[in-house]
Chains A and B, each alone.
Chain A
Amino acid sequence: MKNEWPLWEVFIRGQHGMSHRHVGSLHAPDAEMAIKNARDVYTRRNEGLSIWVVEANHIAASSPSDKGPLYEPSESKVYRHPTFFDIPDEVGAM
C-alpha cells in the first residue's frame, strides 16, 4: 500500500456562468487521470462544463482556531451592507 495514488480536490464549473466550485475529491496517479476520473465521478448528469483538479497537499487552508481574528472584525462593520442606510421612499429605487 506504499504506492497509494495521491488525493486530488475537484472543482467544477456548471452551466450558467458560475465560478468553479469544490465538489469533492478523488485519487489519481497524475493530473491527466484526475481529470478523467473527475469526469466519471462528478459529471455523470451534465453537472459541468469545465473541471479543475489540484493535488490536495498543495492546498493551504485557514485554521478553525483563527476564526476569531479572521472573521470577527467584519461583524462590527454593518455599514458595509446597503441595508444600513435609510433611503427615503420618495427617492425611489437605488
Chain B
Amino acid sequence: MYAQMVKTEAAQDDPEKLAAFQARIDAGEKIEPKDWMPAAYRKTLIRQIGQHAHSEIVGQLPEGNWITRAPTLERKAILLAKVQDEAGHGLYLYCAAETLGVSRDELTEMLLDGRMKYSSIFNYPTLNWSDIGAVGWLVDGAAIINQVPLQRTSFGPYSRAMIRVCKEESFHARQGFDAIRKMAEGTPEQKKMAQDSVNRLWFPALMMFGPSDKDSVHSEQSMAWKIKMNTNDELRQKFVDQTVPQIEFLGLDLPDPGTKWNEERGHYDYTDPDWSEFFDVIKGNGPCNVDRLAARNKAWDDGEWVREGLMAHAKKKAAAKIAAE
C-alpha cells in the first residue's frame, strides 16, 4: 500500500527471547521503543514506516500541482488543507520511525538517493482538476482501507501515528468524492473528464495494495508480528467492494469490464492490474518517477541554507544566553 513490497527480515535472535516477544504480541501488548525487540522486527519496521512516511511526502506533489489552478477559492482552500495534512502525516510517521533509532535526515537521504521507496501511485500524473477529485476519492480511499487495521499494529508509536492519520483521512476521501461528483454531475464534457480520470486511476489504485498474495513473499512473518494486519488481496477486495457502488452512484461506467458481482463469494470479481507495469513503476520507470525524485531533491537542496541558518542562529542565541547567566 503506502508501503508496498516491504522486505521482511528473517529473525535471527535467541529463540527463547523471540518466543517471549511473540507471546507479548499474541497477547495484544504494544511494543514500545525501549522494549527488547528482534533486530529483524526493528529493521522491517524502519523500512515500512519510512516508506509510508515518504509516500505521504511525495504524495503532496501530484496534488500540490493543482493548488494554484483550483476552480474556486473554496476548492483551493480545501486542497491546501489536504496537502498540509499529508505533510503532517509524513511527520507523524517519521517520528514513529525515529523511535527505532534511525534519524530523520538518514531517512530523507535514503529517499533522495533512491535506496528507499514510496508508493507506486504517486508516480502517475494528475493531468487535470478531475484527477484531483479522483486521487482524493480513490487513492485516499485505498489508503484508509490499509490504515484502519494498522491502528492495531503491535508497535506503539506506529499505532498511535495511524490513529492520528485515520482521524484526518476521511476528510481527504470525502473532499475528493465531492470534487469528482461535481464533475460527474456537470456538463457532458465534465462527465467525460470524470470518466477518464476513473479509467486511468483505477488500476494504479488497485496496485497500491501491492502484489497478489501468491507473489507476496514477505507476508507471513510480518503478519505474525502484527505489522501487517491483512493480506494484499484481502485489502484490495475490500476496496473494490466499497468503491464499485460509489462509481455506480456517480453514474460513471466501471473502468474494469471484468467487474461482476459474485453471489457465491459475496464479493465483486475484478481484473488484476497489469503486474508487469507495477514492477516497472517500482523499478523507477513510471511516468513521473524521475520528476518526483528531482522535485524532492531540489526542495532539499534549496532548503539547505534555511536549515543551516536557523541552526546557526539557535546556537548563537543559546551561547549568548549562557554568557548572560
Interface size on B, residues (CB 8 A): 29
Contact across chains for B307 and A44 when beta carbons are under 8 A apart = no
CA–CA, A1 to B36, complex, Å?
29
Given contact pairs A25-B98, A29-B314, A61-B34, A4 touches B104 in the complex (Cβ within 8 A): yes
CB nearest to B157 among chain A residues: A24
Kindly identify which residue among B81, B105, B160 contacts A1, using a CB–CB cutoff of 8 Å. Answer: B105
Contact across chains for A7 and B318 when beta carbons are under 8 A apart = no
Contacts of B161 in A (CB 8 A): 24
CA–CA, A1 to B112, complex, Å?
13
Kindly identify which residue among A4, A41, A44, A63 contacts B105, using a CB–CB cutoff of 8 Å. Answer: A4
Query: Mask for A55-84, Cβ within 8 A of B = 1, else 0?
Result: 000000101100000000000000000000
CB nearest to B99 among chain A residues: A25
Kindly identify which residue among A3, A7, A40 contacts B311, using a CB–CB cutoff of 8 Å. Answer: A3
Contact across chains for B95 and A44 when beta carbons are under 8 A apart = no
Given contact pairs A41-B91, A64-B34, A3 touches B307 in the complex (Cβ within 8 A): yes
CA–CA, A61 to B95, complex, Å?
18
CA–CA, A42 to B101, complex, Å?
23
Interface residues on A, range: 10 to 19
Contacts of B160 in A (CB 8 A): 24
Kindly identify which residue among B32, B85, B106 contacts A64, using a CB–CB cutoff of 8 Å. Answer: B32
Kindly identify which residue among B85, B88, B106, B307 contacts A5, using a CB–CB cutoff of 8 Å. Answer: B307
CB nearest to B164 among chain A residues: A24
Kindly identify which residue among B88, B92, B164, B318 contacts A30, using a CB–CB cutoff of 8 Å. Answer: B318
Contacts of B85 in A (CB 8 A): 44
CA–CA, A45 to B3, complex, Å?
27
Contacts of A24 in B (CB 8 A): 91-92, 95, 160-161, 164
B285 beta carbon closer than 8 Å to chain A: no
A27 beta carbon closer than 8 Å to chain B: yes
CA–CA, A25 to B92, complex, Å?
8
Give B residues with C-beta under 8 Å from A.
Answer: 32, 34-36, 81, 84-85, 88, 91-92, 95, 98, 103-106, 109, 160-161, 164, 168, 307-308, 310-311, 313-314, 317-318
The 3 closest A-B pairs by CB, nearest first: A30-B314, A29-B314, A29-B310
